[in-house]
Every structure is written in C-alpha cells, then in structure tokens.
Structure 1
C-alpha cells in the first residue's frame, strides 16, 4: 500500500518534468498524508496539475469523511469493486506526482520508516484514480486514490507481510494511463511492480510517523533526511 508520500520539489521543477501548468500556489510537502492535498494530472485536463485530497471519496458517499480503505486501489480488483469500477470505465485516471514514498518496517513491533526514491529521476508519477463529490449545497470535493500492485523485492523487504507497493509509471506510460480511448483492461496492463534496479531506499527518523502533532501538520524538510545524517 501507499499511505504516505512526499512532494518536496518546486513548481518550476515539476513543470520541467511534466508538460503542465500549475495554476495554484504549491508548497512542498515532506509528509503527505491522507486528506491532505496532493498534486495530480487528470485524463480530463491533462494540461494542468491540480490539487486534490489524498484518499478517495466516491461521488455517491453521504459525506466527505474518509474511509482509510480508499487511499489505495488494488489494481487486481478495480474491475470488481463498485468504488473503482465506474472510475476506470469512465477514464477517471490521473497521474499522482511524487518524489518519494514512505513504508514502515513493523517486523520488530516498532514502526521504522523508510523512504523509497528512484535512481534515475527526482520526480515521478503514481497511477491514480480520482473522483468528484458534490454536496447538497453545491460544495465540490475532489479526491484521488493511488493504485497498488505486488511489491518488488526492495519494497517487499520492508512492507511485509502484505507485500504491496504503489504503481510507479514509466514516463513513456504517462500518456497511456491518461488515454481516454483505451479499454480498462489495457490501462491496467501497466500496473506492474517497478524494477528493483531503478529504486533505492533509506531509513528515516520515527518523527515522520505522525501526520500531525497536536493538530498541527507535521511537515518539514528534516523529516526526509537519512537517519544517519540527522
């Protein structure tokens, strides 16, 4: 699964990596948790990167209270589940922009955080699905979920025994995932484990474990520094 990730790059760095504009103010997030705003590129509006809430609220939900089961969508099950099936059938696909993600090693009974990054590029995109919820008074709440697949070896060593990881897309598959002409089965063909050889990880301080402290978002650059450099 992927319940926490990072997007610490500047808007100019993001726009250099992705051919989009960013119409909103964007602050770096070193500890991006569910309900917070992430940055996504949708199949409906591929020319802009827009903020949406991490943790999908289906359009038919009674309110915007997040169920933690919707932060991720298991790629093997999206065509079987009522939350995900209409989204992928109606091409509500998106790229979730990130520069790393966090998983916890819990094998010793203590949650030890590790950050995973790519060796060949600072910015990348998860495959995602998004939805728009509209309240009775007209309020709009846009949200997204990150697709997951079986873990590769480097992630599986930490994320055990569940052995899941987010779907990280190769750049040549960005347009593919956003292609509104492709069948759902074709889209899902890219939901595979990312190659181990292109990834690396390092241990973080447990200070990152809390998404917020006394109601204040826990977000600062030190959170993603390797523990041996703290």
Structure 2
C-alpha cells in the first residue's frame, strides 16, 4: 500500500521538473518518508491556479474533521472507491496532487521470517509522480493543517509477487489532466503502471525503522 517512500531530491530540482511557481519549501532530503511526516507535494494553487510545491503532512485530514486527535488520517485511498468515499470524494473532485518520489518501499510477507522490504523505482531512472489528494483543515483557533494521501490501485505483474496493491503513477503527459489544468477523464488515470515502467530489488530491514534515514536504505541486498 506504499507506506514509505524516498525523495532526497532538492526542492529546486523538483520545482524545475514539475514547473512550479512561488517560494520553495525548506526541507531536508529523506530516504524514508513515513506517515505523519511533512513531505513535498505538487498541487494546483486553489486561488491563482499555478502549480506550487509545498510541504504537506502525510495522512489526510478532511476539512470537516471535528477532533484532530481522533481523526483517522489515512495515508492512502483506494482507486476503486476514491470518487465515492465520503472521506475522499471531495478532494478527488477538487484537490488532486502529485507526490514526487525517487522510489517507494513495499514489504513481502514471508513464511518463516519478518517481511522482506523491497524498493521500487522507475526503470528509466526518472522521478516518480504518485497520484495523491490534498486537504486543508482549520482548527477553531485558526490553526491550519494541510495534508495528503496517496491513491493506490491493483498491483501490476511486476508488483504482484510482493504486494497486491501499488500507488497510481501519473506520467508527465497526464500531469495537467490530473492537476485539473485541462478537462478530461481523470478516472482513466487510476490504473496500474505498464509492466515495463518499474524495477524492483530487495533491501535491508533497516528501512523498517523511520529513524533510519540515509542513502544506504536504497542499496540492494548482496546476492546470496
């Protein structure tokens, strides 16, 4: 379900790639982005319409949430129900986003040992653009929290041996449609990635702990 991902690219590089406007966020590189942490998100500014690169918290808090402490804060939304679920349908209609990532992690269940983590990245080495939703929540005291979730769909053949779900990956020609800059069938983008898009390799269980955050997390395990 994509519960961790890596994005160590500097904001300047992300801004150039996604052609965002406005001030850039001040954020350190991360090879182990975890739920409840701030992360870079590309979204269409609700007032001026330009693409912006902002820091949002991973774990969606709908604008109608009454008690933040009791909020579910889901990190993912199912592609099959995102357009109809009360939790996500308003954001899907109006506040779609792209989450830049160098790679994401998934865990394969094994019979006699802890789950084996894998890294998944693009074969061509380019940055992944994961389909997401964002929300803005305001407390009675005026505190503003902007948050996001990643949309997941059925796994393709590359991912299926590891997990039955994978994040929706949006290709560059579809970015304007996904962000609401052009008209079209947005739901048609909620599909598994083509089979030749991704590569997969096993990595150390060090990635299991969010406190471990360095480039070695992406290193393949030695061949046995």
**Normalized against structure 2, the TM-score is what?**
0.90
Q: Aligned pair 1:47/2:41, yes or no?
A: no
Higher fraction of helix: 1
Alignment of 1:200-219 (within 5 A): 200-211=199-210, 217-219=211-213
Q: Distance in 1 between matches of 2:13 and 2:131?
A: 20
8 Å contact 2:96–2:178 — kept in the other structure?
Answer: yes
* Matched-pair contact (CA < 8 Å) for 1:64–1:141: no
Picking from 96, 113, 116, the partner of 1:93 is 96
CA offset digits 1:71-109 (Å, max 9, x no partner): 1111110122101111122x1111111110000011325
* Contact 2:109 2:116 (8 Å CA) reproduced: yes
> 2:72 and 2:104 mapped to 1: Cα distance?
20
Question: Residues 55-74 of structure 1: matches in 2 within 5 Å?
Answer: 55-65=59-69, 67=72, 70-74=74-78
1:15-61 Cα shifts (integer Å, max 9, x gaps) = 33221245221211100010011111112354321000111011122
In structure 2, do the counterparts of structure 1 residues 121 and 221 end up closer, same or farther at CA, with 3 Å as the change threshold? Answer: closer
CA gap 1:194/1:218 in 2 versus in 1, 3 angstroms: same
Normalised by the length of structure 1, the TM-score is 0.87
User: d(CA) in 2 for partners of 1:49 and 1:180?
Assistant: 16
SS at match of 2:159: helix
Q: Does 1:110 align with 2:114?
A: yes
Structure 1 consecutive aligned stretches of length 4 or more whose deviation exceeds 3 Å: 63-66, 180-183
Instruction: State how far apart, in whole Å, the 2-side matches of 1:7 and 1:63 are.
Output: 31
Give structure 2 stretches of 5+ with no counterpart.
Answer: none
- The offset of 1:180, in angstroms, is 5.4
Alpha-carbon displacement from aligned partner over 1:110-131 (angstroms, at most 9, x marks no partner): 2110000001243121111110
How many angstroms apart in 1 are the aligned matches of 2:27 and 2:107? 27
Distance 2:25 2:10 in 1: 12
- Which residue of structure 2 aligns with residue 226 of structure 1? 220
Give the structure 2 partner of residue 214 of structure 1: none
Q: Which runs of 5+ in 1 are unaligned?
A: 212-216
Distance in structure 2 (CA, Å) of the matches to 1:203 and 1:64: 37
Q: Does structure 2 retain, via aligned residues, the 8 Å contact 1:210–1:218?
A: yes
Task: Give, in whole Å, the separation in 2 of the partners of 1:4 and 1:17.
Answer: 22
Number of residue pairs the alignment of both structures matches: 217
Task: Report the equivalent of 2:19.
Answer: 19
The answer as to whether partners of 1:104 and 1:158 remain within 8 angstroms in 2 is yes
2:155 touches 2:166 (CA, 8 Å); kept in 1?
yes
